[in-house]
Amino acid sequence: MKMINKKTFQNIGKTLVLVFSLFLLLINQHTQAQTVSSSIDSSSIQIGEQIKYKIEVETDTTNLVVFPEGQTFMPLENVEASAIDTTINQRNFKLLKEYALTQFDSGKYTIPRQRILINNKAFFTDSLLVEVRDVAVDTTKQKLYPVKPSIQVDKPFQVADWVWWLLITLVIIGGLVFLLWRRNKKKTEAAQKIPPFEKAMLTLKQLDESQQLESGQIKAYYSSLTEAIRRYIDEKIDDRALESTTAELVARLNALTQENKLRLSKEEITKLEEVLKRADLIKFAGFSMDKITAKSDRQTVEHNIFAFKEAIPEPTEEELLKDQAYREAVAKRRKRKTILISVVAGLSILVVSAIGFVGLKGWDYVQDNILGSPSKDLLKGEWIQSEYGNPAVSVITPRVLVRNMQQDTLPQAQTGAIIESFSYGSILGEYYINLSLVNFPEKKEFDLDKSIEAVYTDFENKGATNILMKNEEFTTVNGAEGIKIFGSFKIKNPVLQDRTIQKSYTILNFGYNGAFEQLMLVYEKDNAAAEEITNRIINSIELKIKEE
């Protein structure tokens, strides 16, 4: 009985040892499933040389890994980043990413800890020390020269975008004007190519070929017949012939004959009057006419046209000059009318094209790429990395922040506190940045929860309404933890008092070493360029935390 008990205890002991070993093995595998390491190929370089900075991550194949991007290696500059090199190690992925870093000032620099996200969980690399050496110069062999004076260089000539758009608009308008001018010119030339006499004879010939008389279209026949003689008289003798009644036209022909301006016999005028009166009865009173009379009237009209041609005396030199002046005046009026129509048509096409372009591309695209956007200019400009206050806050911004004396963004007043404030822009402007630093007496820690309430009160004091606020924890690239407050509000438009401006904001609050640091960013709501600026700024901020 004792031997059985002893064996039983031995078996139980072995089982426990085996289970414990398996447990330790599982823990070890889980720990090794996610490892992050960094290394550099050299800890000492000369000015301008590059360091290869490597980040190596070993993790499970199902995990999502996000490497650092942009200028997160300050004070060293990220020159180039390679693609991620992936190798498979049993069940894990081994990811390797290289960065080329450089520095153009000598000294000792610390590459800050880099944040790698694995399934949205932050892992940090170790900080690394790098020495940047001056280039040694042998002054016994290399002569020294004084610094050359600066040379004024003219700004290179560059045509503004609006000039190109103006040229395109002018070309379109010019093309339309030219096309209309050519069209009117062709019409005018075509009309001028056929003299009035030939035109009248052509009308009579077309009337004979129309078969209107044979088909019983008496009204249409007489309309074409009288139009031929009236148009000839209108163009050569009396420019009111087309709109005059028969009696008025005959009276003016008799008057011109009596004034010797027309060599016509009374018989010819009487025959024309008879034809015109018959035509009036047919057109307006519904009378009919036999074909024999109609053909006779056609011969009478042709005879009258020949008679009128012979009856017109040769114009005097004075009449020729008056006629030329009249033609020029008419041509000028037509030209002005053509230009006006062309301009209106061109502007209409331009407006329609602009509306269509805005509808196709969207107002944001037009504002950013054609009209210009202050936020996009900031984003594309030269960014500056600077340190502010003590303890220093390092941040990269599109403009240098200027020290000011007004600390109206601080969460609470503190007697004896040392206050510093740096800002750019205005809260009502396109983009506003304010960095505030408060060093408290006795180095007591600041309650960040109170800063959330203070932000709401501060916005209300500035005139903001409809304030929406959210907050979450935030960690900088060098591991400093704080609170991120973000949301939107409305504020009265300073120009149009009855309207409001929609604003978005992002605020970072930190409390370290008995100090309070606040970075406030205010910008236009739904502005993509402003949001990108905000992301770049908050991803660059670093707190120089003193080790206690």
CATH of the domain at 225: 1.20.120
Task: Output the pLDDT for position 158.
Answer: 61
CB 437 within 8 A of CB 419: yes
| pLDDT class of 278 with cuts at 50, 70, 90 | confident
pLDDT-wise least confident of 160-174, 287-301, 397-411, 455-469: 397-411
The better pLDDT of the pair 139, 229 is held by 229
Predicted pLDDT of residue 238: 81
* Neighbour tally for 498: CB within 10 Å: 6
CA distance 433 to 393: 14
Does 433 lie in the same domain as 516? Answer: yes
What is the C-alpha to C-alpha distance for residues 389 and 65, in angstroms, rounded to an integer? Answer: 35
Mean pLDDT to the nearest integer, 347-370:
68
Q: Tell me, yes or no, whether 368 lies in a domain.
A: no
Among residues 297, 313, 329, which one ends one of the domains? 313
Clarify whether residues 486 and 381 are in a common domain. Answer: yes
CA–CA separation, 464 and 458 (whole Å) = 9
Q: How far apart are CA 142 and CA 517, in angstroms?
A: 50
**Do 418 and 287 share a structural domain?**
no
Burial 152-190 (b: 16+ CB within 10 A, else e): eeeeeeeeeeeeeeeeebeeebeebbeebeeeeeeeeee
Contact 373/422 with Cβ under 8 angstroms? no
Q: Is residue 165 included in any domain, yes or no?
A: no
* Predicted local confidence at residue 481, as pLDDT: 87
pLDDT of the residue at 354: 74
The total of other beta-carbon atoms located within 10 Å of residue 391's CB is 16
Shared domain for 204 and 306, answered yes or no, is yes
* 3 or 215: which leads in pLDDT: 215
Q: Is the pLDDT of residue 421 over 60?
A: yes
Lowest mean pLDDT among 60-74, 145-159, 458-472: 145-159
pLDDT value of position 545: 67
Residue 94 within a domain: yes
Of residues 164 and 47, more confidently modeled = 47
Q: What is the pLDDT of residues 470-516, one digit of tens each?
A: 888 888 888 888 889 999 999 888 777 778 888 999 999 888 777 88
- If asked whether residues 399 and 253 sit together in one domain, one would say no
pLDDT in tens, 251-274: 888 888 888 778 888 888 888 888
Residue 181 clears pLDDT 70, i.e. is over it:
yes
**CATH code where residue 535 lies:** 3.40.1000.10
Asked whether residue 30 carries a pLDDT value surpassing 50, the answer given is no
The residue-averaged pLDDT of 327-338 equals 82
In a domain, 418, yes or no: yes
Distance CA 261, CA 248 (A): 17
Q: Of 426, 391, 420, 392, which is closest to residue 404 (Cα–Cα)? A: 420
Q: Cα(6)–Cα(19) distance, rounded to whole angstroms?
A: 20
**How confident is the model over 87-134, as pLDDT tens digits?**
887 778 888 889 998 888 888 888 888 888 888 888 898 888 888 888
Q: Using the 8-state DSSP alphabet, how is residue 547 labeled?
A: P
- Across the range 134-149, mean pLDDT stands at 66
Asked whether the CA dihedral 375, 376, 379, 382 is positive or negative, the reply is: negative
Where a domain ends, among 285, 313, 341? Answer: 313
Indicate the average pLDDT of the chain. Answer: 79
Query: In 417-514, which ranges are E strands?
Result: 418-424, 431-439, 465-475, 481-492, 500-512
Q: Is 9 contained in some domain?
A: yes
Q: Are residues 449 and 532 in the same domain?
A: yes
- E strands, 355-477, are 384-388, 393-397, 402-404, 418-424, 431-439, 465-475
Total structural domains within the chain: 4
| Residue 384 domain flag | yes
308, part of any domain: yes
pTM passes above 0.95: no
Q: In CATH, what number is assigned to the domain containing residue 69?
A: 2.60.40.10
Task: Tell me, yes or no, whether 129 and 37 share the same domain.
Answer: yes
Domain shared by 76 and 48, yes or no: yes
379 shares its domain with 527: yes
What DSSP string runs through 265-325? -HHHHHHHHHHHHHHHHHHHS-----HHHHHHHHHHHHHHHHHHHHHSPPPPHHHHHHHHH
Instruction: Point out the domain boundary residue: 133, 158, 185.
Output: 133
Does position 289 have pLDDT exceeding 50, yes or no? yes
- What Cα–Cα distance (Å) separates residue 415 from each residue in 120, 265, 339, 453, 519? 41, 121, 76, 20, 22
Q: What is the pLDDT of residue 522?
A: 93
Residue 340 lies in a domain: no
Which residue in this structure is represented by tokens 């209409």? 348
* Per-residue pLDDT at 501: 87
For residues 519 and 437, membership in a common domain is answered with yes
pLDDT of residue 137: 65
Residues 53 and 16 in one domain: no
**Using 50, 70 and 90 to split pLDDT, how confident is the model at 412?**
very low
The predicted model gives 427-453 an average pLDDT of 80
Question: What residues form DSSP beta bridges with 53?
Answer: 40, 99
For residue 197, give every residue at least 6 positions away whose Cβ sits within 8 Å of its Cβ, in sequence order, or none.
232, 236, 305, 309
Q: Tell me: do 279 and 416 sit in the same domain.
A: no
Q: For residue 457, what are the domain limits?
A: 374-543
